[in-house]
Amino acid sequence: MTITKPTSKPANPNFSSGPCAKRPGWSVDALKDAATGRSHRSAPGKKKLAEVIERSRAILGVPDDYKIGIVPASDTGAVEMALWSLLGARGVEVLAWESFGKGWVTDVVKQLKLDDVTVREAPYGEIVDLSQVDFSRDVVFTWNGTTSGAKVPNGDWIAADREGLVIADATSAAFAMDLPWDKLDVVTYSWQKVMGGEAAHGMLILSPRAVERLETYTPKWPLPKIFRMTKAGKLIDGIFRGATINTPSMIAVEDALDGLKWAESIDGLEGLKARSEANLKAIAAWVEASDWAAFLAEDETIRSNTSVCLKVKEPAFVAQDAKTQTTALKLLAQLLDDEGVAYDIGGYRDAPAGLRIWAGATVETADLEALFPWLDWAFAQVKI
């Protein structure tokens, strides 16, 4: 069957999983009030940084007694600060089901070289058996596996009376999924993900229990300045009021504020979640009707509503070796890129052959609807 080339294209072809699409209607005008050329420690600079923290707190529903800091090096920086500063006080469980989670396993096992570590891993598209996790130990996991499209279904599996700390890399979950703050001690994310902000800065959220650990435990390894959150055994509180450790980009700060104000204008977290869930629903309806595409995460309860990962189910395609499949899907993504229809939808380099389509709140459902016929057309061009 030949498929006619579609004629109408998505108004916004940005479907990347990070940096993610800007909010609808964004233009550089959103940055015109940026405190450019000013010190981040000036009164206007500090005010803007504090405003990012407080607007984020309100939208995400972060409890008042949790600390929120703007930190260097995006989500990676935030996670590394947490791992290097907090781990080693007790045994650790690290849960991983895709590339980023596996990266945290490497940090804990090979870099920090902790000796009492349990690693629980699951293949792409699945998650680990959460009932096995021992909460007398510290637990490190990725809430939503951006490269596999598999997330934890909720926080019910996390013990309320845990002894260890629960550290969640929530970069592709925050602002798109409910995060049960009472079950989480450290939560990290970056501006460039769900809110479509600029890269470089991360957010680090700490529960009172995490702060207590910071103030009572000193790791046996040295900590670079960029990771240090305490001074003489006390939390450096300023970090969590906008006095960043080092210099942030005031343009990125302005852009983060723009995203947060947009979120407020669409009913905050509820509005963000609704847009993202509607996007997943639209993709699911197309997948359901498709004779070639399927979700990498087969179990609906763990299927991501932000980083949606697809595989090919067509038998003739699946029968090919992995390299042939990957090459064909790279070509598919390139065809759509060349057409100006979809950018950056190739599967992650370490993931099984597939496509990855961002479905967070900044993506318009109408743009996904416009993309689907193009996916069918492009698959027909590359199919083996």
Beta carbon nearer to ligand PLP, 60 or 378:
60
Minimum distance from residue 189 beta carbon to ligand PLP (Å): 8
CA gap 95, 105 in Å, rounded: 8
Nearer to ligand PLP, 100 or 135 (CB): 100
For residues 23 and 258, the answer to whether their CB atoms sit within 8 Å is yes
- Determine the Cα–Cα distance for residues 32 and 27; give it in Å rounded to an integer: 10
CB of 381 to ligand PLP, least distance (A): 29
Cβ atoms of 278 and 365 closer than 8 Å: yes
Sign of the CA dihedral running 99, 100, 102, 107: positive
Binding part of the chain for ligand PLP, among 73-81, 212-220, 226-234, 281-289 by CB under 6 A, reads 73-81
Q: How many residues bind ligand PLP (CB under 6 A)?
A: 12
Between 171 and 207, whose beta carbon lies closer to ligand PLP? Answer: 171
| d(C-alpha 366, C-alpha 293), whole Å | 20
Binding of ligand PLP by 75 (CB under 6 A): yes
Nearest to ligand PLP of 107, 185 (CB atom): 107
18 near ligand PLP, rule: CB under 6 A: yes
Among 192, 215, 227, 216, smallest CA distance to 69 is for 227
Locate tokens 């852009």: which residue?
Answer: 255
The verdict on whether omega for the bond into residue 6 sits within 30 degrees of 0, i.e. cis, is no
Q: What is the torsion angle, in degrees rounded to the nearest 10, for the CA atoms of residue 334, residue 335, residue 340 and residue 341?
A: -100
Q: Checking phi first, is residue 161 left (phi over 0); if not, alpha (psi -120 to 50) or beta?
A: alpha
What track of x and - describes contact with ligand PLP for positions 80 through 119 (by CB under 6 A)?
--------------------x-------------------
The tokens describing 228, both together, are: 């240090």
Considering beta carbons, is residue 126 or 169 the nearer one to ligand PLP? 169
Question: Using the rule CB under 6 A, is 74 a contact of ligand PLP?
Answer: yes
Residue 190 is a binding residue for ligand PLP (CB under 6 A): yes
305 is a contact residue toward ligand PLP (CB under 6 A) = no
Query: For ligand PLP, which residue of 12, 14, 142, 207 counts as binding (CB under 6 A)?
Result: 142
- Nearest-CB residue to ligand PLP? 146
Supply 240's token pair: 């969590």
- CB-based contact 93:116 (threshold 8 Å): no
Q: Does 171 bind ligand PLP (CB under 6 A)?
A: yes
Among 169, 185, 198, 255, binds ligand PLP (CB under 6 A): 169
In the complex, which residues of this chain contact ligand PLP (CB under 6 A)? 18, 74-76, 100, 142, 146, 169, 171-172, 190, 192
